[in-house]
Amino acid sequence: MVFQTNRLWAKFIVNDDEESFYRMKSDETVTCNYFQRPLSYEESRKKLQQLIDFNKNEVAYTYAVFEKSSNKFIGTICLWNLEPDKNTGEIGYELLPEYQRQGYMSEILPVFVRYMLDTYGYICFTACPDEENVPSNRLLIRSGFIFNGKIESSGHCLNNYVMSFADNFTTNCHEIAEEKSSKTFQRQL
């Protein structure tokens, strides 16, 4: 266990999570939230290995999230699109459908942000959900993220949110978010 809440615990994603990870990545109700088609078993296995390698090489940090009461895999939370020189990264998360709308992400997101701040020194967090993904947009606002405009990505309109623990919030995190907004934003899912 790396970090935990009252109902959840999380650890780096590993090969033992393969079956549950595939179930999540092959479910269209999950993958449609980030404009990805469902993955085949082989594609899911390759994606899992890529995420494990990213964790080892500190290119991104992906954690498997488990329900404490059942010890079942319920989803993932990650920090990716890292800019270590600016201590910033983009947060991503997904849950299996049967665990959505139960407050799990509201519970673990602030703990994850604090963990990334305390453990790796990241002070600025961005998140870019689809503007039509109302639950995700509400989650970010309730968690203290600030709406910072829209980003066009591969023909999709994404909302851009930021959260910063920097002393100079306006000159640090907003500049980073503006820089991302002005670039051609390409997702590497």
Cα separation, 8 vs 6, in Å, equals: 6
Contact residues for 164 (Cβ-Cβ < 8 A; gap 6+): 123, 124, 125, 172, 173
Range of the domain at 28: 3-182
171 part of a folded domain: yes
Type of residue found at 24? M
Q: How many structural domains is the chain composed of?
A: 1
Q: pLDDT tens-digit profile of 10-35?
A: 999 999 999 999 999 999 989 877 77
14 part of a folded domain: yes
Cα separation, 116 vs 61, in Å, equals: 9
189 part of a folded domain: no
Q: pLDDT tens-digit profile of 39-96?
A: 999 999 999 999 999 999 999 999 999 999 999 999 999 999 999 999 999 999 999 9
187 part of a folded domain: no
- The CATH number given to whatever domain includes residue 99 is 3.40.630.30
15 part of a folded domain: yes
β-bridge partners, 101 = none
83 part of a folded domain: yes
pLDDT given at position 185: 41
User: Is residue 167's pLDDT more than 50?
Assistant: yes
Cα separation, 19 vs 62, in Å, equals: 16
